[in-house]
Structures are given as C-alpha cells and as structure tokens.
Amino acid sequence: MANTLSPPGRRPSARRSKVDRSRRILSGSAASAATLLLLWLLAAALLDRHRGGGAGLALVVDAPDSVVDVLPTIVADAGLVSGAVGLTEGNASSDAGDLIRRLESIPGDASSPKVVFLSAVGLSTPDADRGSEPFFLPPGGDPDDPASLVPAREVIAALTDPDRNSGPTLLILDASQVDSDRGTGIFANSFLHRLEDLIDDDGNLLVLTSCAPGQVSWTADPHGRSVFADCVARSDAWGRGYASDLHRDVSSRVAAWARLHRDAIQTPILLGNARRNDFGLPPLREVPPDPSLPEVPDELRGRLRAAWEAHLKLGESLPYRISPVRWRQCRDGLLRADRLVRAGRVAEAGTALDRVEAIAAALGRRLEETPPGPLPSFAMRIALAPPGRQEAVERQWEEAAQVIRTSFRDEPPPSTATPGPSTPASPAATGPATDSPGGGEPAEAVAVADRPGAASAAGPGSISDLPPSAEGLLAARYAQFVAMGGEADDLRPIRRERLLQAFDVAIAAERVAASDGRLLPWIGPILAEGDRRRLEGQDLLFASDPETIRSARGPLDEAKARYDEAAALAGPLSEAIGLLQRLADELPYYGEWEASDPSSSRRVDALLARAAELAALVGSPPPGWNAGVISGGTGATLERVRQLVRAVRGEYDALTRAFRALVDRSARPGSSTPWRRLDAMLRVPTIPVGPRMALVDASLAVDRPTLPAPEDYGRSPADAAPEASFWDRAIGLARLELGLLRLSGIAVDDLRGDLERAEAWANSPDRAFDAMDALSLAVRRHRDALLDRKRPGDGEPVDPGPELLRADWLARTLPAATLQRRFDPEDGPSDHRSARDRVDHLAWQARRLADDLALDLAGEALDAAGPLERGPSRLADDRAAIDGLRSLALRVENRDAGTEPGRTAVGLTVSGGDGLPEGKAVVVLKHDPSGSLRARPGDEPFLDVPVTGSAGRSVEIDFAEATDATPTVYYRGLRFEGRPVAIPDVEQVSLAIRQRFGFAVDRNGAEITVRGRRIEVRDQFLEHPDKGFLHPNSRLDYRLELTNRTPDPMSVIVSRQWQDGPSKEARVELSPGETLPEAVADSIFSNLDFGPKQPTGTLTVQVREVGGLGRTLCKPRRVDFRVLKPEEYIADPVPHFQFKGGQYARVGLLVTHLDTDPTTVPAQVTLAIQPLLSVDQVQAPLWIERGSTAMYIYSIVRPDVESLKFELTIDGVTDERFIKEYTIQKLKEAPPAPPIDDPRFPRP
C-alpha cells in the first residue's frame, strides 16, 4: 500500500532487508562484469580481423645503370626484409608491366591484412600535359620515355583493388635513393611529394616510406644495405605491435643513424589513414644477421688503382676532343666502379671494371686511328695525326722540308730525262701537240696537270721521292719548269732566292690553314686574301727577266703578313676552343662536387658564366668581320676573347687548386673528413691516383662501424621537414645545368624565375617542388630539341647547322648514362659535328688547291672527306668543279717563224681557258735543258688567264745545236702546248780547250830543262779533245779558245765548273769574227783537285750571253780528267851490271817512259839503292821524256855486299812494282847483259 506521507513527487520507498540489498549488489556486479567481458570479446574479435597472418610480398625492381647514385643494394634489401618477416620474395625485372602483375597476385586471402616491401627507384617525371607524376624506373626504363616507366598510380591501384585486397595493406616503400640527378634531368626529385596525393585517406592502404619528401634514403657503405631496410628488418614491432608502432620505431632509429653518420635528416613517414587501417604485424621469423664487412680483395684494389692510372695516362691525349662520348663513358664507368668498391659490392665492381677496360681499349684504338685517305698538306697530317704517330709525321716533314730547301739552294744536276707529261691529257684536250692532218688547223693544246714530284728524275733525297703535299707543290713545279728548259743560268740564283721565300710563305699558309676547322669563319677571309697575293707572287716566279722575278717579293711579303695575322688570330681562338672543351669535360664533375659539398667555394657558377660568354664569341665572328677589318687590327672582339681566356683559365686554375688542397688535406692519415665530403670529392675523376686511393680507404674507414647492434642505433625524435642539403644540392645542380646550357649556346633566362622560387623552399616546399619540376621539364625540352632521339642504327643524321654546334657542346657536358640512352658511342652530336667540320675543312682545302690548279691534291682532299660524310653528300659540286678544271684548255697556235743564223722567233696565238682561275701564265719553249737552246718572250712576259678573246705572243729563240722545241703556255703546273719547232744546228760561239804551254813545266809552273834545253811538248787535247790526263803530283795548264762566229760584237760569260764545286766565271768581249786563243786560262793540280780514292774529275765549260735569258751560245764542253798511275806510263825497269877483276864494279837500271803516255809531258824519276853506303852515284837523270829510256848508273864501293835493293820513285809515287831486291848470287846467274856504256842505250 502506498505511503501517503511521502512528499509529493517522490515514490515511497520500501524498506528492504540487508540480505536483499546484498543480493541486488551481487547481481549488479555480475551484470557489469558480463557486459565488460562481452565488450572485450567483441573488441578482440574486431581486432583479430586486422591481425596479419604473414601474407605478403617483398619485391625489388633492379636499379638501372643510368642512375649513378643508385647502388645494387636494393636486391639485398628485399632479401633482408623477406627473410626476417617471411614474405614471398620476387624480382620484377622483366619489363615495366611485371611489377603490376606481381602486385596483383599477392598470396593470401583477399580480406586478410598484407605486408608488401618494395625497393625500387622512384622518380617524378614532369609532363607538360599531365603535370608531374611519380613513376618507378625499371631496369630497361628510360626517364625520358614515360611509356617505359611504371606509374606509381597503377601500383597504388593494384594494391587497393577491392576484388583482390579488401583488407588493409602496408606498403613498405624504399624508393628515394635519388634526390637530384643530371643524367635523368631531375632536380629536387618530388616523387614522395607527388605520391602523397595518390594515397586516399578513405582507402585501406598504408605506405611506410624510407624518408619524407625533400630527403634521401641513405645506404650504409660498405654493408651492402640501406639503413631503412635494416631498421625495418630489425624492428621490435614485428609480432608485438602494429603498423603504426613499426613506423615510430623505424623512424626514430633511421633518423638517429642519419644524423650521426651522414649529418643528414632522414625521417620515414606513414601515409594513409593509420587510425582506420592499423593492424597487428606478423611475428619476426628470424632475427637478421649482423651485416658483414667484406674486405676489398687486394686484386680488386690493384685493378682499381691500375684503371685510374691508365685513365690519367689516357687523359694526356685529350680524348675529350676526339671522342667525348667514349671518354665520358670511361670516366663515369670508372667512378661507378670506384663507388661499388666503397659499397662493398666486390662482384659488381669487378664487372664494372671489365666494362671500363673494354671502353678504354676502344677509346685507345679510336685515338690511334689515322684519317681516311691522304691529306693534302703536311700541316694537316701533323695536326690530325694520332698522338702516337705525330712525332713520326713531324720527322717526315722535316726531312721533306730539307730536301725542298736543298733543291732550291744547290745547282741542279744535268738532266737526262726527256721532259714529258706525267699524267694523260685531260679528256677535253686530247691528241698530240703536233700539226693537224693536212696542216690547215693546229692541233689542240695538251693540258697536263703534273703531280708534285713527278717531273724530276727519281733518286735518293730528290723531289720525286717526296709524298705529294701543298707545301712541296712549288718545288715540284720548279723541277718541272727546269725539265722543260725554262730556267737560265743567270736567272737561277735570283729565282731560287725568291723560291725559298715562296716556300716559307707556303709553309705559313698551310700551317694556319690546318687550324681547327671551326675557325674558318674567322680566318677564312684572311687566308683567302693571303692566298690571292701568294698565287700572284708565285706566278711571277716563272718570269724570264730578273726584275719581274724580284718583284714577286712584294706580293709574297703581303701574303706572309696575312698568314701571320691569321695565325695570330687562330692562336687565341684555338686556345679558347681547347679551354672550352676541357671545361665542358671537367666542370660538370666539379659542379657536382660543389653542389654536394656545402663547404665548397662555389666558383663554378661564375666560371660558367664567363665560359658561356667566351663560347658565344668564339662561335662566330662579329658582323662585318672580313679581311679588310682584320688587316686593320684584331678588334675589340678578339681582345675580349683574349681577356676571357685569361680570366677563365685563371678562375679554373683557382678552382682546381682549391679542390686539390682539400683532397690533400682529406687524404692525410688521421683526417676526420665526414663521409659526405669524401663522397663528394670522389665524384671528381681528376684526383691523382695516390690521394684517390687514400680517400677511398678513408671512406671505408668512416662507414665500417655504422651498422652495430640495433640497440646501439639509439632513438631520435622524428623530423619530417625537408633537409637543407637536399635543396642545396638540387639548386646547385640546377645552377650547374643552366650554366652548361648557356655554355652550349642555349638561352635559359626564362628559367631563372623557377630557380628563384626553388631557392625559397624553406617558406613553401610545395611551390619549390613545382618550380623545380618546371625547371626539370624545361631542361629536358632543351635537350630533346637538340639531341638526336633516334636509336643507333636508324642511320638518320643530326640536323646540320647551328643546332648541331649547340648539340655538340651540350652532349659534351652530359653524363655517360644520358648519352648511352640516346646515341651509339661513335654516332653522337659531337661525332657528327667533328665529321661535318672535317668535311667542310677538307672541301675548303680542295677549293684552295683548285685555285692553285693542284687538281690531284684537291681531288685527294675530297677523297679524304668522302668517308666522313653522314647523310647526303655535300661534295658533289666541288667534285664537279675540279673535274671541270681538268677538262679546260688553252688553245695554242703557232704562227710564222723568222729565222737567222743562231736565232729564230715563233709567233703564238692563245685563246680560251674560260673557267680557269685568274692569274698570269708564262710562255716557255719546252726542250731538252741539257742543250744550248734558250728562249725568251718576244713582247710581253706574261699572259693573263683566262684569255679574253685571243692573245698574240712570240718567243725569241737563240740556239747553238739542232734540237726540237715546243712553244708552251705554262700556268700553275699545267702545260698547254703548240706544235713542235725544228731548230737547226748552229753555234754562235765556238769553244775549244787547249794545253796552255808548248813546253814542259813542273808542279810550281817553272820550265823544265835538261842540260839547258827546254823540253817541248805536244798539246794533249789535240790527241784526245774530250779527255785530259795528269801525272801524279803534277799540274796541267789549259786555255780556252773562243771564236765569235757572228757579225755582231758579243759580251759573254765563260763559266768553268770543276765537278760539283762552285762555278768560276769570267767576262770576255768578242769582236765580230774574232778568235781569242787565250780567252781564259786556268790550271788543274793532280794533288789538289782529285781525291785520293777518286782520281777522276770533270771540267764543264759553258759560254752564255751577258744579260737577257743568259742563253748558251754553244754546246757545253765537258772534259773528263784522270790521274794516271806510274805503271801506266813507265815500263818495268831492267837491271845491268859490269865486272872488273872478277868483281861487280858497276850496277845500273834502264827506265823507259812509254810513248803511249797520253799526257805528253816528261816523267820525274829518282832511284835509291839500299844499303845506302854500298854504292856511289855515277849517273842519275831526273826527267825522262815520253818515248825515251834513261840509264841510272852506280859504282859498288863495298865488294862484300851480298844484296842490293832498287827503289824507284816516279812523280813522287813509290810503287811496290818498282821496288826490287837482287842478291849477288842472282846477279851472277843473270843472263849476259850489254856493257853499261853500250851505245844502244843513249844517255839522258
């Protein structure tokens, strides 16, 4: 019943007992406990649904060689994690789609949680249409070809496909080994930054990355694994915690290691909805073993040292000038091998060294290649000779130059060769140079293009022995001119003096013409002016009067001035090009060092700015640059080139000195240089071998203790902020790339804004990533616009022109991996540029030689250029022009000739030659130069070529013997011949050699008398006119008898030349019809003018007119002299004796001077008898006349003498034939002899 006293609104309370209250309390407690237990079981059931059961996959995508900073540790990383956690291991390396296929087939139930470890190279590839996308780079992928990459979007889609993976998935991703890479054209890799946008917070995917955006995943050298993978495999969270626990544990350990050992920030982050998708991790199957520390084998260390030594030796040949792609491959491959050694990858390092050695061998063969075909000048042969052959070619040139100079200084030997063409007549000038059938029309002239050296008789050290060359062209033409009979004795020294000058000018011309072909826009106009003046002077050298020959000095001096000017211009320009090529080769390495080492001095940017200005100046001359401007001075542009060369070289030297000083300090024992600075220095291949190996050892020593037991890693608060060094390196490499693009002639001012936005990364990392992606895209576009994207074998050449020039410079600055993806090592832009320059250079040389009508040499230049062409030939016009010159001819017609005794004149009419280079030809009478004929132009010495209409010329001929001669127009080695002219046999001056005295003289010139009687002698030259004989130690006095056979007075020069010695000359005046018995007198001494082993000699006498052509007025007289031996003119002596009282009282010797002695002079004979005191002289004549016998009588004063020795001396010569010894017994047994005073033996 209700309680009515209860206050309103309150229920009346029933009073219960204590037992009831206790029962109620216990029931409530039980219900609460049951409720809690039910809730716990429900939570446990829900959590058990997210507990991983070990289903998962560990995948690796092999690192491609094209990314130099990625080491082959990612395979080991996958094995490390899969072995520790029990994941299925795989390698997605077959193609770009293999990774997706493997991810779509992860073992395990679709709804169960899964763990996937993926180690690959992640790149952000900017695209103009789609923006920046994150990609994975497979081994055969090309960063420049998105179709060959694996989009990260597809990887995420494969992992989040609800039909295959409806449960939560943890992707452990190590894809941030690359921060910036010039080879791929990526600066500030935004892979992780872009990857964040692909992870859906509402999805079931968690991604544990190896680092945060703006950081890099580090590798522990030389343990062969990444720090992130090692920390993942060793984490305490496996089997004990959740994915979020794994993140916290790994993040703190990795951050601590990176800060301690790399002075860097590396913070793994967890992407995705961790609250929704967190799940318990499977247990650790096995604890990973401690990382091993493989020792670098001594053999591998020795190979590395030997490879660097060979590399530095190879660099002395400047291979970057000849084959920059192969040289870059060699250098980058060696740096890669060096890095693998430091990373403990022994097998991979050995393989890398194998590749480097093969590349170096191929490069060495390339450097020793000789240019195809003969080159037209010695200067080009020297300039283009391989380093190993250059010295031999220089020696060959020195020998050739000596032969040429000698040919211009020495008197020519008498020519016995019959002059004639050395090559067949050209097709348009066929037929012999003789009268045409019927005599009505003259035959066409024969044009002969003589090859240098073909005109002289072959012999050791002669012009004909020399290989054809532009330098030797003039010497060969002079030899041809002499062989034609164009030279005159009195003009020879004058002409040869100027020929020596012209030879020196030609050397200067060819030396500067062999300069780098890229200098032709600068020096071409100057060389053209110099060539014009040089050819003008050379034409004058073949004149027939001394004043004209002397006048050649002016044009030759002007030509030499032009060549010197061109050489002065080529010097600094060549130096600039060589310096720029070296900078293009080495500055990329120094730039990467500066970008990777924050403590560096940052010199490369300013250096590249100056180098770019220098490259722009050298690339082309200023507007209006021509020979006229050059001749007035080098100008401000050239002075700026010189200034920049000095400045750039100075700054570059300062850079290398600073770098070398840093290397030396770091290589010292006990140095504490941090690993990152060591690594940055070791990226530069110019370090000497000793310091480099010390740095390698220091790098290994720094990294060896960096992976101890997990508890020693320590824990550190995670910091996901971008790392300053990441952005410093990215911005530094971007600046380097922009500087190298400017060096290549590419305008990059529009990219400065992107670089400035990137430099503000600390305020806005998102904008900085966008800016660097835009800059990376622009760099790739510039590369694509210039570099040939065709793969090797397509056969399509790079477009020519200025684009090729820029492509060449750009290719010289790129890493080898970038070039490998685009070109064959011998088919890149630099090879195309070099080949094109060589072709243009040789074609230009061919045109120069064609102007000089050196058509064979011009053809050889084009033949050498032909194999170098790539694509359609550009030489067809030049070949056609040379062939056209070969077919051109001047028409030479003989007119009536007027003849008088010893003189005639031939008239000529010359026409044609249209198309021949302008110049001056000479009229020559081609004949045997050993004869006495001389000719000179009758009116004008020269003929202007090409001939306008027709030109009349005449040749005046003076002759002294019958011969045939051909009027010829001679022009720069070409001969255009008329009809032969028959010359009668007439001497204008008769010449005779006579013995001067009709009596005998001794060697001192004193008369020889016998008992007061002068010995009369006959003129030996009447007995043998062309031969002369002398006794030993004697003299022969001769006189020259001249007779003027003309009705005119004459002034003549009589020249006498003994052997090859100097010529003695005397001027003689002859009245009409006069005979001078002793016009010239001279003597020959047998003991002075003959050698002891060569008792023969030749006297050559010539008579020529004074002045004019110095024509020979009679046949040259050549008299051969010989010194006789005593046995040739003295008979064997006969001994005689006389008895008195049974004893020998007198002895004597009969000596006969044979009447066959050709000398006609007496012989001087003396007799000595041994022992000296055994006899007394009774009768001993001194001189024996030719055909006489003399008796030498001695009385014996010692009857006990047993033998007598007779020693006969004849003209100062004692011969064994005239030394005889007789014993007394032999004298007794001798046949009877007439008495000594027998009248049959007249006394002398």
pLDDT of 696 over the 70 cut? yes
1016-1021: long-range contacts, CB 8 A cutoff, minimum separation 24: 1017/1160, 1017/1161, 1017/1162, 1018/1160, 1019/994, 1019/995, 1019/1160, 1020/995, 1020/1158, 1020/1159, 1020/1160, 1021/992, 1021/993, 1021/994, 1021/995, 1021/1119
pLDDT of 216 over the 80 cut? yes
Q: Which residue has the higher pLDDT, 428 or 380?
A: 380
Dist. CA 69–CA 179, nearest whole Å: 9
258 near 723, Cβ under 8 Å? no
Q: Which residue has the higher pLDDT, 1100 or 93?
A: 1100
- Lowest-confidence region among 53-62, 515-524, 1088-1097, 1203-1212: 53-62
Instruction: Provide the pLDDT confidence category of residue 513 given band limits of 50, 70 and 90.
Output: very high
pLDDT at 68: 54
Q: Span 1145-1151, mean pLDDT?
A: 82
19, 23, 28, 31: CA torsion to nearest 10: 170
Neighbours of 879 (CB within 10 A): 17
pLDDT at 896: 64
Instruction: Provide the pLDDT confidence category of residue 295 given band limits of 50, 70 and 90.
Output: confident
Q: What is the pLDDT of residues 746-781, one digit of tens each?
A: 888 888 888 888 888 777 888 889 889 888 888 888
Question: What domain range is 1000 assigned to?
Answer: 989-1123
pLDDT at 440: 30
As a whole number, the mean pLDDT across the chain is 79
Q: Which residue has the higher pLDDT, 639 or 1127?
A: 1127
pLDDT at 817: 74
Name the phi and psi angles at 286, rounded to 5: -150, 150
Q: Span 792-813, mean pLDDT?
A: 63
Last residue of a domain, one of 648, 683, 706: 706
Query: 879 and 905 share a domain?
Result: no
The residues, any chain, with a CB within 8 Å of residue 297's CB and separated by 6 or more, are 346
Residue for token digits 């060539």?
Answer: 531
Dist. CA 857–CA 868, nearest whole Å: 18
Query: 798 and 908 share a domain?
Result: no
Dist. CA 931–CA 960, nearest whole Å: 8
Last residue of a domain, one of 611, 642, 667: 667
pLDDT of 493 over the 80 cut? yes
pLDDT at 469: 92
Query: 1003 and 1031 share a domain?
Result: yes
Residue 1202 DSSP class: -
Of 992, 1054, 1024, the C-alpha closest to 1120 is 1024
- Tokens representing 267 are 């913070």
Q: Which residue has the higher pLDDT, 827 or 1115?
A: 1115
pLDDT of 41 over the 60 cut? no
Instruction: Provide the pLDDT confidence category of residue 334 given band limits of 50, 70 and 90.
Output: very high
Question: Does a structural domain hold residue 170?
Answer: yes
pLDDT at 463: 81
pLDDT at 444: 32
pLDDT at 825: 67
Query: 882 and 927 share a domain?
Result: no
Query: 104 and 236 share a domain?
Result: yes
Question: Does a structural domain hold residue 584?
Answer: yes
Q: Span 306-316, mean pLDDT?
A: 93
Q: Span 96-111, mean pLDDT?
A: 74
Q: Span 679-683, mean pLDDT?
A: 93
Question: Does a structural domain hold residue 550?
Answer: yes
pLDDT at 435: 29
Query: 933 and 1035 share a domain?
Result: no
Last residue of a domain, one of 653, 684, 706: 706
Q: Span 599-618, mean pLDDT?
A: 87
Query: 54 and 140 share a domain?
Result: yes
Query: 1008 and 956 share a domain?
Result: no
- Lowest-confidence region among 250-264, 395-409, 896-910, 1016-1030: 896-910
CATH code, domain with 1135: 2.60.40.10
Dist. CA 526–CA 539, nearest whole Å: 20
- Whether residue 1231 has a cis bond before it, omega within 30° of 0: no
Dist. CA 760–CA 575, nearest whole Å: 40
pLDDT of 1015 over the 50 cut? yes
pLDDT at 420: 32
pLDDT at 652: 95
pLDDT at 1135: 83
- Tokens representing 742 are 């400017």
CATH code, domain with 895: 2.60.120
pLDDT at 34: 52
Full DSSP string of 444-483? PPPEEEPPTT-SSPP-TTSGGGSPP-STTHHHHHHHHHHH
pLDDT at 1210: 92
Q: Which residue has the higher pLDDT, 1174 or 624?
A: 1174
Question: Does a structural domain hold residue 31?
Answer: no
Give burial (CB, 10 Å; 0-12/13-18/19+) of 391.
Answer: exposed
Instruction: Provide the pLDDT confidence category of residue 962 given band limits of 50, 70 and 90.
Output: low
The residues, any chain, with a CB within 8 Å of residue 736's CB and separated by 6 or more, are 182, 587, 588, 591, 592, 594, 595, 604, 605, 608
Instruction: Provide the pLDDT confidence category of residue 96 given band limits of 50, 70 and 90.
Output: low
Dist. CA 1105–CA 1159, nearest whole Å: 33
Q: How many domains does the chain have?
A: 7
Instruction: Provide the pLDDT confidence category of residue 171 given band limits of 50, 70 and 90.
Output: very high
- Lowest-confidence region among 328-342, 879-893, 1071-1085: 879-893
Q: Span 1183-1198, mean pLDDT?
A: 87
Instruction: Provide the pLDDT confidence category of residue 988 given band limits of 50, 70 and 90.
Output: confident
pLDDT at 391: 87
pLDDT of 300 over the 80 cut? yes
Query: 1115 and 1137 share a domain?
Result: no
- Lowest-confidence region among 556-570, 729-743, 957-971: 957-971
Dist. CA 6–CA 75, nearest whole Å: 85
Dist. CA 755–CA 775, nearest whole Å: 7
Question: Does a structural domain hold residue 782?
Answer: no
For the chain, counts of helices (H) and of strands (E): 34, 39
Q: Which residue has the higher pLDDT, 324 or 905?
A: 324
Which among 519-523, 552-556, 812-816 has the top mean pLDDT?
552-556
Query: 88 and 163 share a domain?
Result: yes
pLDDT of 551 over the 90 cut? yes
Query: 92 and 61 share a domain?
Result: yes
pLDDT of 415 over the 70 cut? no
Question: Does a structural domain hold residue 819?
Answer: yes
Query: 974 and 1053 share a domain?
Result: no
pLDDT of 72 over the 50 cut? yes
Residue 70 region by backbone torsions, left for phi larger than 0, else alpha for psi between -120 and 50, else beta: beta
Question: Does a structural domain hold residue 343?
Answer: yes
- Lowest-confidence region among 466-475, 679-688, 782-791: 782-791
Share of the chain above pLDDT 70, in %: 77
Alpha helix locations (H) across 956-1094? 1020-1023
pLDDT of 1043 over the 90 cut? yes
Question: Does a structural domain hold residue 1190?
Answer: yes
pLDDT at 628: 46
Share of the chain above pLDDT 90, in %: 32
Q: What is the pLDDT of residues 912-925, one digit of tens each?
A: 878 888 999 888 88
Q: Span 106-124, mean pLDDT?
A: 81
Q: Which residue has the higher pLDDT, 1234 or 993?
A: 993
Which among 723-732, 756-765, 906-915 has the top mean pLDDT?
723-732
